């Protein structure tokens, strides 16, 4: 299956497409969720980090 199915969630009943991960507030690209050692959202493009408390 193509890689795009990992990035987007498709609802065929409502005909909508949603992102699975967050959008970076600085550059607009996808953010990755990391569990270890501290739970956080990280942008690989601009190195923006949001820590989860």
DSSP annotation string for the chain: --THHHHEEEETTTTEEEESSPBPTTT--B-EEE-SSS-EEE-TTT--EEE--
Model confidence over 6-50: pLDDT tens digits? 888 889 999 999 988 999 999 999 999 999 999 999 999 999 999
Q: How much is the pLDDT for 1?
A: 58
Cβ atoms of residues 34 and 40 within 8 Å:
yes
Is the whole model's pTM more than 0.75, yes or no? no
Q: Sign of the C-alpha dihedral, residues 3, 15, 17, 53?
A: negative
């Amino acid at each position: 299956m193509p890689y795009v199915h990992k990035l987007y969630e498709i609802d065929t009943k409502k005909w909508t497409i949603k992102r699975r991960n967050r959008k970076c507030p600085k550059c607009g690209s996808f953010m990755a969720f990391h569990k270890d050692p501290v739970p956080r959202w990280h942008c690989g493009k601009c190195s923006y980090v949001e820590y989860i408390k």
